[in-house]
Chains A and B, each alone.
Chain A
Amino acid sequence: MFKDLNPLLHSQLRLAIMSILISVDEADFVYLKEKTNSTAGNLSVQIDKLSQADYIEVKKDFVGKRPHTTCRITGKGRKAFSDYIDALKSYLP
């Protein structure tokens, strides 16, 4: 039986962000932008959506005079990602 895929994760950029964050302790905005090959605006919007769902933690501070944003996956995000993988498996032959 097919399980429902979490719509918040079942989109290309948000899934890419979560896949990166699941495999590291924390990553900054520039790193995510490079790895996902996305625009800053789009990435920012998707990060906000994941953050509002408590799937990721976003920390904003300054390195020197430059703003620095780091993201980290939360326990809830980890669980959601795991459930998403389980759901994907149900679609596989």
Chain B
Amino acid sequence: MEEKKLTEKESLELITRMIQSTKENLEVGRGNKFLMYGYFTVALGIVIFLLSLFTHNNLYSWGWCLMFACWAFVSWKAKKPDVITYTGKAIQRVWQIMGLMFAITFVSLWIFVVIFHTHYILMILMMPLSLIYVNIGVSITGIILKDKWMTFLPLVSQLIAFYMLVAIMNNIPNILLNLLMSFAFIVSMVIPGHILNYKMHK
């Protein structure tokens, strides 16, 4: 494209063409991050469940800290995009806040552990609380992307988070919570991730 004077009609056509071109293919691959986090969590939940089941050692619950490693890996692998849309920026900000809430919860629980001299509540509460944050994040992402499945599927997963909270409040320590966590992530991240990628490639 050379620098040249335009007629008024050509100007309008150029503006329309350029704006249209930015809307093409921008959303392709957005579901991939959901799938990476989703599948990793599903696998981690199953591994922790099996280890706890066969060894009767609840210390394997600390394995959930590997979510931080997953986050670091995904962030390291993520390529800086050529273009950031307003939609992309909004979604990025939503997940920054969710990540911050996750970190604040983790640190807060550590402080409570020191105050109350217990390690039990730390890991066990991280599961339902993290799930609630993830569900809120996925739903807001769905609203921004105008995707019904992504908006409403996390509500199903939210029921699982509430069940976990009630189970913990009633002092029912259960290694099945690890499996429930895996199932919840299938509902709130894996399925919406696949639906989103399918729609974008269509």
Contacts and interface: CB of A to CB of B under 8 A. Distances in A.
Given A10-B6, A15-B6, A15-B11, A22 B19 contact: yes
Nearest to A14: B3
A54 to B, nearest CB: 20
Interface string A20-47: 1011111110110011111000100010
A80 interface: no
Contacts of B15: 15, 19, 85
Contact of A12 (B6, B21, B84): B6
A15 to B, nearest CB: 6
A92 B82 CA distance: 35
B88 A25 contact: yes
Given A15-B14, A16-B1, A37-B1, A24 B6 contact: no
Contact of A35 (B2, B5, B21, B89): B21
B84 A23 contact: no
A22 B83 CA distance: 12
> What DSSP secondary structure best describes chain A's contact surface?
helix
Contacts, number: 85
Contact of A11 (B3, B8, B88): B3
B201 interface: no
Contact of A16 (B5, B12, B18, B83): B18
Interface residues of A, number: 32
A68 interface: yes
A25 B3 contact: no
Contacts of A91: 8
Interface size class of B (residues with CB under 8 A): 20 to 34
Given A30-B82, A88-B12, A11 B1 contact: no
A35 B22 contact: yes
A27 B11 CA distance: 21
A24 B22 contact: yes
A13 B83 contact: no
B47 to A, nearest CB: 34
A1 interface: no
B1 A27 contact: no
Contacts of B89: 25
29 contacts: A5-B8, A12-B1, A12-B2, A12-B3, A12-B10, A13-B1, A15-B11, A19-B15, A19-B18, A20-B18, A22-B19, A23-B85, A24-B84, A24-B85, A24-B86, A25-B85, A25-B86, A25-B89, A27-B22, A31-B83, A34-B82, A35-B22, A36-B1, A37-B1, A38-B2, A42-B2, A46-B3, A88-B11, A88-B12
Given A11-B5, A15-B11, 7 more contacts: A12-B4, A16-B18, A42-B1, A42-B2, A42-B3, A91-B8, A92-B8
